[in-house]
């Protein structure tokens, strides 16, 4: 038997009904905030992520699915390609490629699969799904303003409320500008010098190449050492401090709760200033439902001729679905009516009725049986499908042009003329 590859999984009904509920809800919310959908390819040049996300990040250093795409001819050079581990770099690439700065402020969202070669466990997969949102544009359009940060965070809070997730927690930090970061990195490097030898191999490497990434370390023995390291909050310059204060001020005034966490540096190199995560208790070890932040220099790092500050987030949709209280059974739509053709020649009559019903009311869910089924079997099939009504289509009914409609839960049965069927079935929904 051939099975799904480790770390990937099939999403099956009824669970897919929950996924659809989530996606329908977030699309509604995005519409209300004037966000528009963007779709970028699921693979890109490896260089995009190396430059965008950062060579020293766990994502780029260890987790990407990368392959060499051979050239079409002997003389053609091959190209290194990678399944996207995240969507921000791709969206910023598209923004630059299509010169979207002319459009002022852009508000994008995107829903789709991402790929990271991580050790699979509950809430962590090698193919997972993100709901991503980005606000990006020239500074003159207001892209740099703390109002955008607050808008993004308030949007997330609304989104989580709307899908029914109540007990989320917003952890907020400012990771400063490249200047602050250079000083912070220097301080970290110094602080790490005497202790790095006691840390894991990854941290020993990070201590030299990119000390900030030491904060990504998950090794329990290293945590007491990491606790003693300097914090970014002490290195913010005036501009960054003001920006952060303003973001917090707006959040307080609109009533979006948050906690400050100055150890939160996020696992991607492009972040500047605001960085955040929303966590949820039900998730266990993989407790971040979503993460995001500002990335004011990313567009330039990817070759944009114009500055394009931005801020965004990505929800781990798998984790969002795991923390829902709504059940798949509640979300799934079962048939309103099961049409049971009874006896030879009745498939045609049943098909005609099904077509009429579906056309007269697009919201009706109509399931169709088969004339070879005995009545008992039709009832069993209707039960199994969890239909609300069964509609009997036999020779007598066709002659009378009125049909036996039985409500399966109550057992109540009525004869309904063809013309009234759709309205009758829709009545008690």
Size of the site for ligand HAM (CB under 6 A): 26
Instruction: Identify which of residues 51 and 353 has a Cβ nearer to ligand HAM in the complex.
Output: 51
Nearest to ligand HAM of 318, 371 (CB atom): 318
Which one among 57, 82, 88, 110 touches ligand HAM, defined by CB under 6 A? 88
Instruction: Show the site string, 247-276: x = touches ligand HAM by CB under 6 A, - = not.
Output: --------------------xx--------
Q: How far is the CB of 274 from ligand HAM (least distance, A)?
A: 10
Q: Please, are residues 415 and 405 in contact by the beta-carbon 8 Å criterion?
A: yes
| Contacts of ligand HAM in 128-157 (CB under 6 A) | 128, 130, 132, 134
Within positions 96 to 125, which residues make up the interface with ligand HAM, using CB under 6 A? Answer: 116, 118, 123-125
Please, are residues 319 and 409 in contact by the beta-carbon 8 Å criterion?
Answer: no
Applying CB under 6 A, which part among 43-51, 286-294, 301-309, 329-337 lies near ligand HAM?
286-294
122 vs 252 by CB, closer to ligand HAM:
122
Q: How many CB atoms lie within 10 A of CB 188?
A: 24
| Segment 140-149 long-range contacts (CB within 8 Å, at least 24 positions apart) | 141/104, 141/105, 142/105, 143/105, 143/308, 143/309, 143/310, 143/311, 144/296, 144/309, 146/243, 146/244, 146/246, 146/247, 146/250, 146/274, 147/250, 148/311, 149/243, 149/247, 149/273, 149/274, 149/294, 149/311
Non-local CB neighbours of 103 within 8 Å, separated by 6+ positions = 137
Within positions 291 to 320, which residues make up the interface with ligand HAM, using CB under 6 A? Answer: 291-293, 312-314, 316, 318-319
Of 88 and 173, which CB lies nearer to ligand HAM in the complex structure?
88
Chain residue at closest Cβ approach to ligand HAM: 316
Q: Judge contact between 7 and 127, C-beta under 8 A.
A: yes
Spatial strand order in the sheet of 413-417:
366-368, 337-341, 389-393, 402-407, 413-417
* Interface characters, 68-87, with ligand HAM (x: CB under 6 A): ------------------xx
Q: Does 205 bind ligand HAM (CB under 6 A)?
A: no
Residues 382-401 that bind ligand HAM (CB under 6 A): none
**Site residues for ligand HAM per CB under 6 A:** 86-88, 116, 118, 123-125, 128, 130, 132, 134, 267-268, 288-293, 312-314, 316, 318-319
């Amino acid at each position: 038997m051939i099975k799904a590859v480790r770390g990937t999984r099939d999403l099956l009904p009824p669970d897919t009904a929950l996924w659809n509920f989530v996606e329908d809800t977030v699309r509604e919310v995005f519409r209300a905030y004037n966000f528009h959908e963007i779709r970028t390819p699921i693979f890109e040049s490896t260089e995009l992520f190396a430059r965008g996300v950062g060579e020293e990040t766990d994502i780029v250093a260890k987790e990407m699915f990368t392959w060499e795409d051979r050239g079409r001819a002997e003389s053609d050079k091959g190209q290194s390609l990678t399944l996207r581990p995240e969507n921000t770099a791709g969206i910023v690439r598209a923004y630059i490629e299509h010169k979207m700065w002319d459009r002022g402020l852009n508000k994008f969202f995107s829903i789709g699969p991402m790929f990271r070669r991580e050790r699979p466990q509950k809430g962590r997969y090698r193919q997972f799904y993100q709901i991503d949102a980005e606000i990006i544009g020239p500074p003159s359009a207001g892209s740099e303003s703390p109002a955008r940060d607050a808008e993004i965070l308030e949007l997330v809070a609304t989104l989580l409320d709307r899908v029914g997730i109540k007990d989320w927690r917003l952890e907020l930090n400012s990771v400063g500008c490249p200047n602050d970061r250079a000083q912070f990195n220097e301080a970290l490097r110094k602080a790490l010098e005497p202790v790095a030898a006691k840390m894991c191999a990854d941290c020993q490497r990070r201590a030299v190449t990119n000390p900030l990434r030491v904060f990504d370390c998950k090794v329990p023995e290293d945590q007491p050492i990491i606790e003693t390291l300097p914090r970014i909050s002490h290195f913010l310059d005036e501009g960054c401090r003001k920006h952060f204060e303003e973001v917090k001020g707006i959040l307080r005034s609109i009533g979006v709760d948050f906690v400050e966490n100055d150890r939160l540096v996020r696992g991607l190199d492009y972040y500047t200033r605001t960085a955040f995560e929303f966590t949820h208790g039900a998730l266990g070890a993989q407790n971040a439902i979503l993460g995001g932040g500002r990335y004011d220099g990313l567009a330039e790092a990817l070759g944009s001729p114009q500055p394009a500050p931005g801020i965004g987030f990505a929800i781990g949709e798998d984790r969002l679905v795991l923390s829902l209280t709504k059940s798949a059974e509640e979300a799934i739509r079962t048939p309103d009516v099961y049409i049971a053709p009874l006896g030879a020649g009745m498939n045609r009559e049943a098909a005609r009725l099904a077509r009429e019903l579906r056309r007269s009311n697009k919201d009706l869910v109509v399931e169709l049986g088969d004339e070879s089924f005995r009545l008992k079997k039709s009832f069993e099939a209707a039960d199994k499908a969890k239909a609300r009504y069964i509609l009997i289509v036999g020779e007598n009914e066709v002659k009378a042009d009125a049909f036996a409609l039985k409500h399966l839960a109550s057992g109540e049965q009525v004869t309904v003329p063809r013309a009234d069927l759709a309205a009758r079935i829709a009545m008690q929904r």
